[in-house]
Structure 1
Amino acid sequence: MADQPHVAVLMFIAQRHAERRILDFLADEGFDDVTLAQARVAARVSQDGIRLTELAEQAQITKQACGELVGQLERTGYVERVPDPSDARARLVRLAARGREAQHRAREMEQRIDREWEQHLGAKRMAELRRSLADLRSITDPWA
């Protein structure tokens, strides 16, 4: 298969396609003020919240860059910073109402993409792909 890119590149191409489709869908749904960099950070924020240092580590960006992106997301109402109940000195970044709505809409597009890919590959191959990628996660995702 010398004529094919490395499997990691093939996964990246598929991921980039899905990411673009989701961002375009969100823009069409009224969430047109989110950049790709902001979306990549926001995707790692849950309603329970995450500390900025952990968020930066997961996003693989500097704490300063993460702080800037979180500030932008905060100003547009996607996230909020709240006190960390386990440490009064620390703050958590968590999804605000607008962020929860955007995440809900993004999940809709993710499901649509899953259905399209399954239609293209067939149910068996899609299930095999999902299992294989889930298995790889144990050696590729330190936050799994």
Structure 2
Amino acid sequence: MPSTRRNLPQLFSDARRWFDEGLLAALEAAGATPVSPTQVQLFAVLDDHGTTVSELARRMGVTRQTAHQAVHGLVGVGLLEQIPDPASARRRLIRRTEEGERAHHQAGAILERLEEQLAERISRQAVDALRAALETPWGPPPPPAS
């Protein structure tokens, strides 16, 4: 009989989807500018001082084209802007606009509420243990088995 036990990456994916869906629903209910899950992920990996599209793509684990499309959509609705990179005349940095900063803080508050709701469902102790395990450095992935 095949195992029904799901692996950790599947469980992480489900957990992320739970937070993403809760965040997007709360933002929509608050009348915020509609964003996609990819755009939410982009906001999560964006540095406060600005980040290149290539670096955003690397952090998100997507192609540069996908990251560029997400950036373009968020620039179009006024949540992000492109500025020259002071370290390189050829590169541009992506950063939040004032409206983008407000949206980012709103999303952070929603995520805190979602975490509290999760603690009510599975216990504060379980959430704290999960957080501690995920905050512990894991080190680099192990080399392939020979």
Q: Does 1:53 align with 2:57?
A: no
Task: Describe the SS at the equivalent of 2:136.
Answer: helix
Give the C-alpha shift of residue 101 in structure 1. Answer: 1.1
> Hey, what does 1:78 align to over in structure 2?
79
Deviation sequence 1:111-136 (CA, Å, 0-9, x none): 11111122223232221111112226
> Hey, what does 1:128 align to over in structure 2?
129
Q: Does 1:116 align with 2:117?
A: yes
Gaps in structure 1 of 5+ consecutive residues = none
Give the C-alpha shift of residue 137 in structure 1. Answer: 5.3
Task: Describe the SS at the equivalent of 2:71.
Answer: helix
Give the C-alpha shift of residue 110 in structure 1. Answer: 0.8
- Tell me which stretches of 4 or more aligned residues in structure 1 moved more than 6 Å: none
Structure 2 CA distance, aligned partners of 1:94 and 1:134? 26
Give the C-alpha shift of residue 99 in structure 1. Answer: 1.4
Q: Does 1:96 align with 2:97?
A: yes
Structure 2 CA distance, aligned partners of 1:84 and 1:18? 33
Gaps in structure 2 of 5+ consecutive residues = 142-146
Give the C-alpha shift of residue 62 in structure 1. Answer: 1.6
Give the C-alpha shift of residue 43 in structure 1. Answer: 2.2
Give the C-alpha shift of residue 42 in structure 1. Answer: 2.5
Give the C-alpha shift of residue 15 in structure 1. Answer: 1.1
Give the C-alpha shift of residue 32 in structure 1. Answer: 3.8
Structure 1 length as normaliser, TM-score?
0.85
Task: Give me the CA root mean square deviation.
Answer: 1.8
Task: Describe the SS at the equivalent of 1:43.
Answer: helix
Structure 1 CA distance, aligned partners of 2:120 and 2:19? 15
Structure possessing the higher radius of gyration over alpha carbons: 2
Report the CA distance shift for 1:137/1:30 in structure 2 as closer, same or farther (over 3 A).
farther
Q: Which amino acid aligns with 1:83?
A: P
Count of residues in Structure 1 that have an aligned counterpart in Structure 2: 139
Assess if the C-alpha contact under 8 Å between 1:46 and 1:94 holds in 2: yes
Deviation sequence 1:22-44 (CA, Å, 0-9, x none): 01111122224212222222222
> Hey, what does 2:8 align to over in structure 1?
7
Q: Which amino acid aligns with 1:92?
A: L
Superposition pairs of residues 16-55 of structure 1, within 5 angstroms: 16-55=17-56
